[in-house]
Homo-oligomer: A and B are copies of this chain.
Amino acid sequence: MQEDKHKAANARYTIGVDFGGTYVKLALVRFSEKNFKIEGYSSFPTKNYNRDSLIEQLVIRIIKLKAESTYKGNRVRGVGIGVPGRVDFNQGLVFDLTNVPGWKNVHLKEALESKVKIPVLIDNDANLMALAESRFGAAKGYKNCICVTMGTGIGGGLILNGKIYRGMNFAAGEIGHMSISEDGPVCVCGGRGCAERYIGNRYILEQATRKLRAGARSILREQLQGKYSNLTLEMLNKAARMKDMFSLLIWQEAGKHMGTVLANVVNLLNPEIIVLGGGVANAGSLLLDPIRRVVKERAFQVSCRNLKIISSKFRGKAGIIGAALLILTSKEKLGK
C-alpha cells in the first residue's frame, strides 16, 4: 500500500505526438518507474491541414490534453514529437519531412513552446521507436540496440551506450542506404546497391510482379487473375504461410538482403539486439528466420553469440510512446 503511494508520487506525465505522413496522433502518457499508461488520446489526418493550420491543430490538442491532466492535479512535464524526417534535436528545427509537403526548415519547437507553455522536444521517428523499444519494449534492458523500420523506406534508430545516437548532422541511422552491392542499381539517394533498393516494400512487390508476369508458378496467379499490380505484401505473406514456394522464396530473398546489411551493422557496432518494425516486418518469421540465418553466416561469430534479432513489441504505437518518453529521458541514461 505504501509502495503504491510511493509509485503514484513518482508518476510522471508527458504528451507524446506521432506526426506521421498519414495521421498525427497525440497521447497523454503516465509513466511509472517500470511501466506506462496512455490516459488521453487524439488524432487527425495529416493531409487535411497545411503547415500553419497543422501547427494550430497541434497547439489546440496539446493544450486540451494538458488541461485535462492539470485539472486532475497532475503536472505535465512537456511534449515529445516524432516526425518522419531529419530534425536538429537541440534546436527543435525540422529540416524536412518525407511525404509531407511544405515542411522545410520549420522551427517547430519554438512555434509550439510559445503557445503551450511547457517544454517541447522533437526528434526523428525512428530514433523514438528505438527509444520506446529500449525503455519498455523488445529491447528493454539493453544498452546497444539497433531498431529498423522496414516499410516504403528502410529507416534506423540507434541506441548506443544507452542513449539515442544522432550523429553530427542528426542524420545517423540510414541503414536502408547502406550498399550491399558496390556496382548495383542506382538508388533515389544517389548511391548504388542500397539495401532499400532491394527490400523497400515497393521493390519487393516489383520483383514479385515481374516474376509472376514472366510465368512463375504460384497460388497468387489465380488470386490476381492477371492483375499483377494488385499484389500486396499481405498477399505474399498469406501465400507464404500456405507454403506457396514462390512467395516463400520472395521472403527468403528479402531476408537474405536484409541479413547482409544487418551483418555489416553487426560487424561495425556489435549491438546486443536488433529490433525490426514497420509494414514489411509484419511478415514475422518468414523474414526473421532467413535474416537470423544470414547474419549468423556472415557476421563475426563472437558478435552473433548473444545477439538477438526480434520483432518490435509496440508496432504502430512505438512512435507515440517514444515521443512521450523523450521528455523524460533527454537527461537520463537508459539500459542496464
Contacts and interface: CB of A to CB of B under 8 A. Distances in A.
A307 B171 CA distance: 12
Nearest to A180: B182
A126 interface: no
Contacts of A177: 267, 300
A214 interface: no
A171 B264 contact: no
Interface centre among A156, A171, A256 (most CB of B within 10 A): A171
Interface residues of A, number: 52
Interface stretch (A15-23, A187-195, A315-323): A187-195
A215 interface: no
A256 B183 CA distance: 11
A80 interface: no
A301 to B, nearest CB: 8
Nearest to A267: B174
A297 interface: yes
A268 B174 contact: yes
A255 to B, nearest CB: 12
Given A86-B302, A303-B167, A268 B268 contact: yes
Contact of A264 (B86, B178, B256): B178
A300 B155 CA distance: 13
Contacts of A256: 182
Contacts of A298: 179, 190-192
Contacts of A166: 270
A94 to B, nearest CB: 14
Given A191-B298, A298-B192, A302-B86, A271 B182 contact: no
Given A167-B270, A169-B270, A271-B167, A299 B260 contact: no
Instruction: List the number of copies, as a whole number.
Output: 2
A245 interface: no
A182 B264 contact: no
Interface string A231-271: 00000000000000000000000001100100111011111
A265 B269 CA distance: 10
Nearest to A95: B302
Interface in A281-336: 297-303, 305-307
A1 interface: no
A179 B301 CA distance: 15
B169 A305 contact: yes
Contacts of A181: 180-182
Interface of A: 86, 95, 143-144, 156, 158, 160-161, 163, 165-175, 177-182, 189-192, 256-257, 260, 263-265, 267-272, 297-303, 305-307
